[in-house]
Amino acid sequence: MSDAPVLSLRGVRKRFGAVDALAGVDLDVHRGEVLALVGDNGAGKSTLVKSIAGALTPDAGSYAFEGRDVRISSPHVASQLGIATVYQDLAICDNLDVVANVFLGRELVRRPLAGRLRRLSQPGMEARTRAVLDSLSVGLRDLRRPVSGLSGGQRQAVAVARAVLWGSKLVLLDEPTAALGVEQTDMVLELVSALRARGLAVIVISHNLSDVFRVADRIAVLRLGRNAGTFVRGETTPDAVVAAITGGRTLSGALA
Query: What is the three-class DSSP state of 116?
Result: coil
pLDDT tens sequence across 102-133: 888 777 676 655 556 566 777 888 888 898 88
Mean pLDDT over residues 81-88, rounded?
Answer: 90
pLDDT tens sequence across 153-205: 888 888 888 888 877 899 999 998 887 888 888 888 999 999 999 999 999 99
Of 236, 231, 194, 186, nearest to 211 by C-alpha is 186
User: What is the rounded CA–CA span in Å between residue 242 and residue 1?
Assistant: 26
Find out whether 209 and 242 touch, Cβ atoms under 8 Å: yes
Nearest 5°: the CA angle 181, 164, 229 is 65
User: What is the rounded CA–CA span in Å between residue 230 and residue 244?
Assistant: 9
pLDDT tens sequence across 17-70: 999 999 999 999 999 999 999 999 999 999 999 999 999 999 999 999 999 999
Class of CATH domain 5-246 = alpha beta
200-to-17, 165, 209 alpha-carbon distances in Å: 36, 12, 22
Q: What is the pLDDT of residue 114?
A: 54
pTM: predicted TM-score of the whole model, two decimal places: 0.86
